[in-house]
Amino acid sequence: MKTFSLMAVGIGLAGVGLATLAAPNGERWFEDITQKADLSAPHTNRSFKNPYAHIMAGYTALGASVAVGDYDGDGYEDLFVTDSKEDGKNRLYRNNGNLTFTDVAAQAGVADGNDAQNASADALWFDADNDGMLDLLVVRFGHNQLFRNIGKGRFKNVTASSGLTRYANAIAAVAFDHDKDGDTDLFIGSYFQPVNIFQPETPRFFPESFETANNGGGVTVFRNDGNFKFTDITQQTGIDLKGWTLDLGHADADNDGDEDLYVAADFGTDRFFVNDGKGVFTDHTETAIGIDTKKGMNVEWQDYDNDGLFDIYVTNITDDYMREGNFLWHNNGDLTFTDISRETGTHNTGWGWCGKFFDYDNDGWLDLYVMNGWVSGNEQSYVPDIFEMIVRPGIDFADARNWPPMGAKSLSGYQKKRLFHNERGQMFKDEAARHGLDSMRDGRGIGVADFDHDGRLDLFVTNANAAPFFYRNLLPLDHHWASFILEGKISNRLAVGTRLLITAGDRTYHRYVNGGNGFASQSSYRVHIGLATHPTIDRLEVIWPTGTRQTFENLTADRIYRLVEGSAHPVPFVVKEEKK
């Protein structure tokens, strides 16, 4: 194995040195700059126009999502943000380089994602053809959309010839190279079964059970055949699910070089699948996590305790009538997991949605931000209506007519968000109020990235039927950091699935490139690492999806590095000057 000594190549701190920067409001480290950044356009829920509209509205208060990615290749992370109302416009926010953004969706050709028969639910940046430019999948109730990046800030709708035209009622998607053939494949999770929910021919399209429903949309796997062609290979992969999927997340659970899959399902058990290395999955749910009857909402993989194994955070529901609680699945290293959410203080976050690990203070320990709140309405509670339905003898839950209309009532609304500080892998302490991140809007997705290249991770938060939040991180710069942009050559171009082992001082941190984990969310493809007080990375080992290993030594901290598979030296990462 060769070892290279790298010259530090990257971006400085845009004029901000390592001297302590005074945070606003004393100890508050996040500033709400949504208005100043021109990101305040609200999300709007879909209103239905069918015989079951008064019932469906509450159960589809979804679709507020964000995907982070540098679509135009200028070095600055951009945002794709969905709306859900009929004729509502999706937004492509181009990063101007000065913490302001411009909506260019119409010019780019990606604004029109909502009509009478389709509602946007999620979005995913991925490089379908390995040309180095991010393509866009818009995930929708109805039919998905695939947009090819044709350069110069423009996209072409290639859905019709892609093989992705089926009616899906999709709500989540991730892209990773499950068969290690050098390109990323699509895993799409669907909520409702493939029936027209806008004009249903039958009223029997609701969950058949609160705990064991098996009449949902399940998971569909599409192999990437190149040239923007995809083939449904779900059966060949061994994944056979009909549950009410809400989220998908992938990582290499056993460090054997291939990506495994966790499926979070509403109204029934989550599922955990192990990859055999050739793209065939085996259901290990019963032995790995056990069979549950909860309402899985979110899948997030990271190594929160720095033991070299990727753990999983799944949100569920904790409320007056459902005391389920979240899962923090600690990876035991033998393809089994132990839930330690109670022990770590991450068990109860209300009606949970997205949860994302990120190191907001660069101390080397991954913190956790969690969205919550379903519907914030009037002072009346929807809980008694639910109880009345549940206890009614012989009720057919699948028949939408038997579900009570929510109207303007509240259910698990007005809940404060949670920002958990990682206390050295043992406990998590809620610091949301301290840092101004405890909004009570009905939160859904989280996009994490360093939008201004200052070494601190910022947050974009989506809210259902409300304006989003854009939080700038103003952490005092006492801690060091590094960020890595990876490019595959034999591996897929975005290097999804690549693992990084980063040693600084007496600790080694394990991170990886993921292809879109998190409910209604996609964060940056860049790998960010907090280094605490260490000004140097002593050793960096990169394990590419091909199995190729590269080792680099003595990297100066507080830089953004570009690493290309097989290259002995880093490619200089240069961004354009501030844009007008």
At 572, the pLDDT band (50, 70, 90 cuts) reads low
**Is the four-CA dihedral 398, 404, 410, 412 of positive or negative sign?**
negative
Model confidence at 246: pLDDT above 50: yes
Which residue has 């969310």 as its token pair? 521
Work out whether the CA dihedral 251, 330, 524, 145 comes out positive or negative. Answer: positive
Sheet of strand 469-473, all strands in order from the earlier edge strand to the far edge = 30-32, 469-473, 458-463, 443-449
Quote the pTM value.
0.95
What's the CA dihedral at 191, 46, 523, 110 to 10 degrees?
110
Q: What is the pLDDT of residues 370-398, one digit of tens each?
A: 999 999 999 999 989 988 998 899 999 99
Residues with Cβ within 8 Å of residue 256, at least 6 apart in sequence: 277
Write out pLDDT tens, residues 316-345: 999 877 889 999 999 999 999 999 999 999
Tell me the one-letter amino acid at 95. Answer: N
How many Å apart are CA 566 and CA 231, to the nearest integer?
Answer: 30
Are β-strands 549-556 and 3-5 bridged in parallel, bridged antiparallel, or unpaired?
Answer: parallel
Q: Is residue 237 helix, strand or coil? A: helix
Structure tokens at 425: 């892998």
Q: What pLDDT is attached to residue 386?
A: 87
Task: For residue 243, give both structure tokens.
Answer: 């549950």
Q: What is the mean pLDDT of residues 353-363?
A: 98
Half-sphere exposure of 462 (CA within 13 A, CB side): 38
Q: What is the structure's pLDDT at 71?
A: 98
Say how far apart CA 156 and CA 555 lie, in whole Å: 40
Strand partners, 120: 140
* Alpha carbon separation from 322 to 38, 386, 387, 403, 457 (Å, rounded): 38, 11, 11, 17, 34
The string over 488-502, giving b where at least 16 C-beta atoms fall within 10 Å of a residue's C-beta and e elsewhere, is: bbebbbbbbbbbbbb
Looking at the predicted structure, is the pLDDT value of residue 8 above 50?
no
For residue 15, which amino acid is it? G
Give residue 403's pLDDT: 94
Q: Model confidence at 14, in pLDDT bands (50, 70, 90)?
A: very low
The residue count of the chain comes to 580
3-state SS string for 5-41: ECCCCCCCCCCCCCCCCCCCCCCCCEEECCCCCCCCC
- How many CB atoms sit inside 10 A of residue 112's CB? 17
% of the chain at pLDDT higher than 90: 89
Distance in angstroms (rounded) separating the CA atoms of residues 392 and 157? 48
